Amino acid sequence: MKILKNPAPETWSKKLARPVQKSKQINKIVKPILRKVRRNGDKSLLKFALEYDHVQLEELLVSEAEINASKAKLSPELIDAIQVAKKNIERFHKAQVSEELVEEVMPGVICRRKSMPIQKVGLYIPGGTAPLFSTVLMLGIPAVIAGCKEIVLCSPPDRDGNIHPAILFTANLVGITKIVKAGGAQAIAAMTFGTETVPKVDKIFGPGNQYVTAAKQLATGFGVAIDMPAGPSEVLVYVDDTANPAFVAADLLSQAEHGVDSQVVLVCKSKKFAKQVLSEIEEQVEELPRKDIALKALKNSVAVVMEDQEQAIALINDYAPEHLIIALENEDEVVNEIVNAGSVFIGDFTPESAGDYASGTNHTLPTYGYARSYSGVSLDSFIKKITYQKITAKGIQSLGPTIEVMAANELLDAHKNAVSIRLNYLKNNKK
Query: Among candidates 330, 332, 254, which has minimal Cα distance to 293?
Result: 254
What gap in Å lies between CA 429 and CA 431, rounded to an integer? 6
Q: Give yes or no: 352 in active site.
A: no
What gap in Å lies between CA 161 and CA 214, rounded to an integer? 25
Binding-site positions for NAD(+) read: 124, 186, 209
> What b-and-e string marks burial along 355-366, b requiring 16 or more CB atoms within 10 Å of the CB?
bbbbbebbbbbb
Neighbour count for residue 290 (Cβ, 10 Å): 16
How many CA atoms, within 13 angstroms, populate the side-chain half-sphere of residue 43? 5
What gap in Å lies between CA 230 and CA 206, rounded to an integer? 9
Q: Give yes or no: 322 in active site.
A: yes
Binding-site positions for Zn(2+) read: 255, 258, 356, 415
Point out the catalytic residue in the list 164, 323, 331, 352: 323
Rg (the chain; Cα; Å): 26
Binding-site positions for substrate read: 233, 255, 258, 323, 356, 410, 415
Sort strands 109-117 and 101-106 into parallel, antiparallel or unpaired: antiparallel
Binding-site positions read: 124, 186, 209, 233, 255, 258, 323, 356, 410, 415
Point out the catalytic residue in the list 234, 280, 322, 331: 322
Active-site residue set:
322-323
